[in-house]
Amino acid sequence: MLTDEEFRRILPLLSAASMQSSDELQERFAALLQSAATADPNYLPGFAQTLEQISADEAQFLDRISAFLIQLSTGSKSPRVMEPLSESLLIYIYDKAPVL
């Protein structure tokens, strides 16, 4: 049974998720719903608004950027100061970088 607080967290997500026709985005909403319902400390309510506004292709591109940056930072002993990604690098990531 959900508490009142949990119900208030997931209700907007249910509404937004029900409007998605993309299987990919529905899976992401399902993961977000699970995080919201289980009070995951990494849950951020703004993610729902982002998911509502992007396409499945854009979500996959964000996955590629994330994977690329994780791969770039692996093995680094100190935190890196990231410069903005150039247009050519973004094109490379879009075309070639694997999704983790």
Residues 42 and 75 in one domain: no
CB of 82 within 8 A of CB of 69?
Answer: yes
Quote the tokens at residue 63. 């996955």
Which backbone phi and psi does 68 adopt, to 5 degrees? -65, -45
**Is this structure's pTM higher than 0.85?**
no
Name the pLDDT band for 27 (thresholds 50, 70, 90): very high
Last residue of a domain, one of 54, 69, 92: 54
How far is C-alpha 19 from the chain's CA centre? 18
Residue 80 has pLDDT above 80, yes or no: no
CB of 7 within 8 A of CB of 37?
Answer: no
Residues 1 and 46 in one domain: yes
What is the structure's pLDDT at 54? 93
Residues 46 and 75 in one domain: no
Residues 40 and 80 in one domain: no
**Per-residue pLDDT tens for 10-26?**
888 888 888 888 999 99
